[in-house]
Amino acid sequence: MIKVAIISGSTRPGGKSKAIADWVHAIAQKRGDADYHVVDIASFNLPLLDEPVPPSMGKYSKPHTIAWSKAIEPFDAFVFVTPEYNHGPSAALKNAIDYLYREWNNKAAGFVGYGSAGGTRAVEQLRQVVGEVMIADVRAAVMLSLFTDFENFTTFKPGERQAAGVGAMLDQVVAWGTALKPLRNKAA
């Protein structure tokens, strides 16, 4: 059984990312096809990338980078939960991805975006970013609208159709994460 991290991609106080990640996790836990965990980037307190050597070299010198690396390494696939800020993903999520390289390679990812336009532009930018660190992104994604999936723009209340979308996205993430396992074993 593969391990899937559901990454809460915002560090904003009072943000919605953790509630959405927990919702995805609750849906995922009912499936029994993978070992799912929520990883909240806010708990790692990552400053703006401060490693003196490029991540592709794998020579981390900062305790926060080493902790982040150890947290991400065991996973076979990811679900990135991202807000859309100014037509893009949160800077904190982009920064967290930039910290590592090998830990992301030959793994799969899906996306859950949220915002006034459903987070679509943030997800499109993240697809480019994760491709560069050798993550294979799946087609299915979940787009949550502040207008229809939140009460008064603050309380997360997704519709039933959104849960079905999570299921479709997880089907692809698990299939691809499993299919890429031989590549990860070969690279190890």
Q: What is the mean pLDDT of each run of 10 residues along the chain (188 residues)?
A: 97 94 98 98 97 96 98 98 96 98 98 96 98 98 95 88 96 98 83
- Domain of 139, CATH number, reads 3.40.50.360
The domain in which residue 183 lies consists of: 3-187
pLDDT, residue 188, reads: 65
Structure tokens given for 106: 């030959």
Element housing 187 (H / E): helix 181-187
Q: Domain count for the chain, please give it.
A: 1
- Whole-angstrom CA distances from 161 to 18, 105, 111, 141, 172 are 20, 32, 16, 13, 17
Q: What is the pTM of this model?
A: 0.97
User: 137: burial class by Cβ within 10 Å (0-12, 13-18, 19+)?
Assistant: buried
pLDDT tens digits along 71-99:
999 999 999 999 999 999 999 999 999 99
